Amino acid sequence: MRAAAERAVERARGGDGPVFLEAFTYRYSDHGRGDPIQYRPEGEMEQWRRRDPLDIARTRLTQDYGVAETELDEIVSDVEEEVERVTAAALEAPFPEPDPRATEFAT
């Protein structure tokens, strides 16, 4: 992904126009309550877990760079708290006023 993003930025900065990057991901959880996820083939989720970039990064950080699991757990906890905080703030924020310029183009 990093290499693709670097090429995209180089292309855009070089004046070759916009670039579209498509990234595929795998959904581990269900679609909602009551979804038993029985439509996936046996072993599919485990196969994708082995390719999960977050799991791979965690393993590399602990095994190759000696980062303690507890330090990574603390980072994850901090991020989760921050996401909860900003989500609550966004939900409590008033809706913005419409931009009056937007009505110029609405017909």
For the chain, domain boundaries: 41-93
Q: Is the pTM of this model over 0.75?
A: no
User: 94 φ, ψ to 5°?
Assistant: -70, 155
Instruction: Report the share of the chain in percent with pLDDT over 70.
Output: 95
- Please write the tens of the pLDDT for every residue from 67-107: 999 999 999 999 999 999 999 999 999 998 887 777 665 55
| CA distances (Å), origin 31, targets 15, 34, 87, 93 | 41, 8, 20, 27
